[in-house]
């Protein structure tokens, strides 16, 4: 009987190992399949033209596959979202970690978790019906579907990530740093500003990077709010279109195996690489102290 049990356990343990490496397999699969479909686009267009071309007209004859407008769209909207979400998110993290009293802290943390749980399509919907008309009126534009509206909603989506990771980073600072500063007569704020924030800096950088990573990867809210105009944006008060929204909006129309299809996968490759880079770097920052 022990022989049978040992055999069963051997099989189970091999299965466990297989599942352990499953994640690596899936990442590799994703990369391989993106490459498989995406690299084909470079049969139709040179990589330089693809990345820097200013015209994105994938269904015209001949197709124009320059994604610069999309890259700039993503960059603008991400920049706008970062400008809003980083100071506010970090400020909130400091408040919750250091200043908020007990019960309030739990309520606030609950509020942040609540925000994190809201599906992006719901936030996009709300942004569409409330924020977009507001922006239109405040800035006297012909349409509220602009990069600015997108930035604001995306900022909301990034903030829970920034807040919770920055909060963890602040908690991880050893209490002795704080106590030392107080013992020297510093005020609470001085301690936060001069001791805690610098000590938590690598975690905070990671928080910001992951928040920005979340923004770059966001699709639905952007699609519903930024206007989907694939031309080079001249500012945030115009409609624009991001890399992510392009894929989502156009894949439905692209014929499998067409240049358009391959081009959208090529955009996917770019997004994958960007998110890979951000996540790996942020992870390095998070583990710098450990």
Mark residues 55-94: x for contact with other proteins by CB under 8 A, - for none.
--------------------------------xxxxxx-x
Q: Cite the DSSP H helix spans in 95-141.
A: 102-117, 120-126, 132-139
Cβ distance to other proteins smaller for residue 199 or 243: 243
What tokens were used for 1?
A: 């009987």
- Quickly count: other Cβ atoms within 10 Å of residue 100's Cβ: 16
Preceding peptide of 62 cis, ω within 30°:
yes
Nearer to other proteins, 76 or 120 (CB): 120
Cβ 177 to other proteins shortest distance, Å = 18
Shortest Cβ 86–other proteins spacing (Å): 11
Give the residue with the Cβ less far from other proteins, 91 or 235: 91
Binding map of other proteins across residues 11-50, x = CB under 8 A, - = no contact: -xx-xxx-xxxxxx-xx-xx--xx-xx-------------
Q: Which is nearer to other proteins, 41 or 223 (CB)?
A: 223
Check binding of 219 to other proteins (CB under 8 A): yes
CA Rg value for the chain = 23
Residue (149 or 244) nearer to other proteins, CB: 244
When asked if residue 248 is in the footprint of other proteins (CB under 8 A), the reply is yes
Q: Which of 63, 71, 108, 231 binds other proteins (CB under 8 A)?
A: 108
Structure tokens given for 86: 């980083």
CB 239 within 8 A of CB 146: yes
Please give the residues from 118 up to 137 whose contact with other proteins meets the rule CB under 8 A. 118-126, 128-130
Distance CA 290, CA 282 (A): 14
Dihedrals phi, psi of 271, to nearest 5 degrees: -65, -40
Q: What are the Cα distances from residue 223, in Å, to 55, 80, 129, 240, 269? A: 19, 16, 14, 10, 19
Give whichever of 108 and 231 is closer to other proteins, judged by the CB atom: 108
Considering only 7-15, 48-56, 75-83, 173-181, which stretch makes contact with other proteins by CB under 8 A? 7-15
Evaluate whether 240 touches 226 at the Cβ level (below 8 Å): yes
Give phi and psi for 59, each to the nearest 5. -105, 5
Does 171 engage in binding with other proteins (CB under 8 A)? no
Segment contacting other proteins by CB under 8 A, of 8-16, 45-53, 56-64, 75-83: 8-16
- CA 1 to centroid of chain Cα atoms: 54
Cis peptide bond upstream of 120, omega within 30? no
Tokens coding 11? 């099989």
Considering beta carbons, is residue 51 or 88 the nearer one to other proteins? 88
Instruction: Select from 102, 117, 176, 183 the one that contacts other proteins (CB under 8 A).
Output: 117
Q: How many CA atoms lie within 13 A of 180 on its CB side?
A: 8
Q: Which is nearer to other proteins, 138 or 234 (CB)?
A: 138
């Amino acid at each position: 009987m022990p022989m049978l049990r040992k055999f069963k356990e051997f099989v189970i343990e091999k299965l466990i190992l297989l599942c352990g490496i499953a994640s690596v397999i899936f990442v590799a699969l994703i990369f391989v399949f993106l490459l498989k479909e995406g690299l084909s686009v470079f049969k139709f267009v040179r990589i330089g033209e693809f990345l820097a071309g200013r015209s994105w007209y994938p269904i015209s004859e001949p197709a124009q596959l320059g994604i610069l407008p999309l890259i700039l769209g993503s960059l603008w909207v991400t920049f706008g979202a970062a400008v809003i979400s980083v100071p506010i998110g970090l400020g909130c993290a400091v408040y919750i970690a250091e200043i908020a009293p007990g019960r309030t802290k739990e309520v606030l943390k609950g509020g942040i978790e609540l925000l994190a749980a809201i599906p992006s399509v719901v936030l996009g919907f709300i942004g569409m019906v409330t924020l977009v008309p507001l922006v239109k009126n405040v800035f006297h534009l012909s349409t509220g579907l602009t990069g600015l509206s997108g930035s604001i909603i995306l900022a909301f989506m990034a903030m829970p990530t920034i807040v919770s990771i920055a909060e963890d980073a602040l908690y991880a600072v050893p209490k002795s740093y704080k106590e030392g500063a107080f013992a020297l007569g510093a005020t609470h704020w001085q301690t936060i500003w001069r001791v805690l924030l610098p000590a938590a800096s690598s975690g905070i950088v990671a928080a910001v990077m992951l928040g920005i990573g979340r923004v770059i990867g966001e699709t639905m809210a952007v699609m519903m709010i930024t206007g989907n105009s694939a031309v080079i944006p001249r500012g945030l008060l115009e409609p624009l279109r991001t890399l992510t929204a392009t894929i989502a909006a156009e894949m439905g129309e692209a014929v499998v195996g067409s240049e358009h299809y391959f081009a959208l996968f090529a955009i996917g490759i770019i997004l994958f690489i960007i998110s890979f880079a951000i996540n790996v770097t942020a992870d390095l920052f998070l583990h710098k102290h450990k």
